[in-house]
Copies of this chain bind each other. A is one copy, B any other.
């Protein structure tokens, strides 16, 4: 068992793909982590913007969470229909492309891709941020912790879909379980006390009101809360990862149901317990969920278990992006708009290149922001809602085209979804434009244009190499062979022998550069190569000596080859490069790499009639 097998698991055969598919229990952690973890930061993000409203904040928070839950419900019904209509994977890209045209599809894809990259960076850094605020001693290690988590998520995903589900099941279900318990106890206590429960540990007093309620503050809070909705798209892209289509639908139902329960439960209890957000930049900061849990249950063992599960789920929420981003890239690559490598199935039946690219880009973001990515938050949500809107609009066209019995009703559902998410994207854009949403609006068209040029490139290559004609053998002659020779050795002997077997037209080239190394002489050539060839009845190979006053070794050979090629327009030139093969990496340093350099230069300066032949010589030390 190789170390690679140990790290990533044994390779999976293509035929095992079916067995590697998942059910609902594994689907929830894989495709739902991102959405569910939003419960930990969405309400908080909205509440933070409501701090200036003082005690009124908690009341409006309920309103905002209700609006977001309604939006979630609309999106849910839309995507349920989409999954049914596109059982082979119906992400925004596919739906928009098939119904609204390639441009719409690619724009939706670009928006979603950027969103996923941001999600990974922001998710991991949020988790580590929470951990660091719990254990301040870890502060200086923030970036290292972020990169460590990124590495873990990367490795787990490279092991394949099924294993990912298994690994992430425990933290996901623990997180959901803990929050549900908190909400249940809180509701019981609230009901028992007639709506005014006494906190086990009182939350800090709410700061004085410093602003009046305005549409702008509410919009800002709504836009921030909407970050809770990223990741909802994931299931519809991943339908093929499930054993059956309805498993995907059920998974989506459970995820959305849980998320709405959590959002509304938290919002209600925040109001009942009179909890307001605290400023994350100031000392004494405590997260809303932490305050809520300690108000409901006190700071016992349960509190710490709950907080630990929140930390775990936040930092692992990046996983949804890892599940969906490579699938999305794969579909686009199959259509020829991204490099082909994205469509290659890796050893564990995952699209490894997409996973690597996502990890590298997110890693760059994390390093650039030293693990604190707060400033990136306004950049996302735009992408997700843009993709939602395109997808819903596409579905409307889809139903219009298919027609039939339920088409009208379906059209209505998706139409409502399109309008709702369309309005939301405008709201988020307006509310967050200055803070960074403008950057997303620049990146999306850039990525879109890049995908277009990738496609143009592939189409032109395809045209050029297209061939429907058989080989032509008339007038074909063996190539002229050129062999660079420094001194007479076993290596050059092997090369000359090989050359004479493939052609009767062999030229050795020696560059005389006044170096210390021994050089071949015409007498040696006559004795070791020319004379034996003559005697055996072979055509005699000649030795050409090129002086090199500037001590260049490779360029004179390249020039000689190109000259030969020009003066024999009907012949192929095979340059035979004897190369020493080092068995150990450090041996590489002890030899010059002239052979390899010559090969690369011939590639760069040569043309279709210059072929390079590498004759390896293995050192046996």
Contact = CB atoms under 8 A, between A and B. Distances in A.
A358 to B, nearest CB: 16
Given A516-B334, A616-B611, A498 B572 contact: yes
22 contacts: A12-B550, A13-B550, A334-B516, A340-B517, A343-B515, A460-B621, A461-B621, A464-B490, A464-B619, A465-B490, A465-B491, A467-B489, A467-B490, A470-B527, A470-B528, A470-B532, A471-B497, A471-B532, A473-B533, A581-B604, A608-B616, A610-B616
Interface stretch (A35-43, A255-263, A434-442, A588-596): A588-596
Given A471-B496, A527-B470, A620-B464, A479 B502 contact: yes
A16 to B, nearest CB: 9
Interface in A498-544: 498, 500-503, 513-517, 527-529, 531-533, 536, 538
A458 interface: yes
Contacts of A467: 488-490, 492-493, 528
A474 interface: yes
A188 to B, nearest CB: 55
Contacts of A517: 340
A611 B620 contact: no
The 7 A-B residue pairs with the shortest CB-CB distance, nearest first, are A502-B502, A13-B549, A473-B536, A465-B489, A470-B532, A470-B528, A467-B490
Interface in A601-621: 603-604, 606-608, 610-621
Contacts of A14: 513-514, 549-551
Nearest to A581: B603
A611 B608 contact: no
Given A14-B550, A502-B502, A608-B617, 19 more contacts: A11-B550, A11-B552, A339-B589, A340-B590, A464-B621, A466-B489, A467-B488, A467-B492, A470-B493, A470-B529, A472-B532, A473-B538, A477-B501, A478-B501, A502-B503, A581-B604, A611-B616, A612-B613, A612-B616
A344 interface: yes
Given A490-B465, A574-B613, A611-B616, A500 B471 contact: yes
A550 to B, nearest CB: 5
Interface residues of A, number: 91
A347 interface: yes
Contacts of A560: none
B516 A343 contact: yes
A341 interface: yes
A533 B471 contact: yes
A166 interface: no
A465 B341 CA distance: 41
A551 B465 contact: no
Contacts of A471: 493, 496-497, 500, 528-529, 532-533
A12 to B, nearest CB: 7
Oligomer: number of copies: 2
A603 B617 contact: no
Interface string A80-109: 000000000000000000000000000000
Contact of A497 (B472, B501, B538, B574): B472
A494 interface: yes
A454 interface: yes
A528 B474 CA distance: 15
A457 interface: yes
A469 interface: yes
Contacts of A551: 14, 344-345, 347
Given A464-B619, A469-B493, A497-B473, A15 B592 contact: no
A572 B503 CA distance: 15
B474 A536 contact: yes
B466 A490 contact: yes
Contacts of A621: 457, 460-461, 464
A159 interface: no
A13 B490 CA distance: 32
Given A490-B464, A490-B465, A616-B608, A590 B457 contact: yes
A405 interface: no
A591 to B, nearest CB: 7
The winner among A12, A464, A514 for most chain B CB atoms within 10 A is: A464
B470 A498 contact: no
Nearest to A330: B516
A339 to B, nearest CB: 5
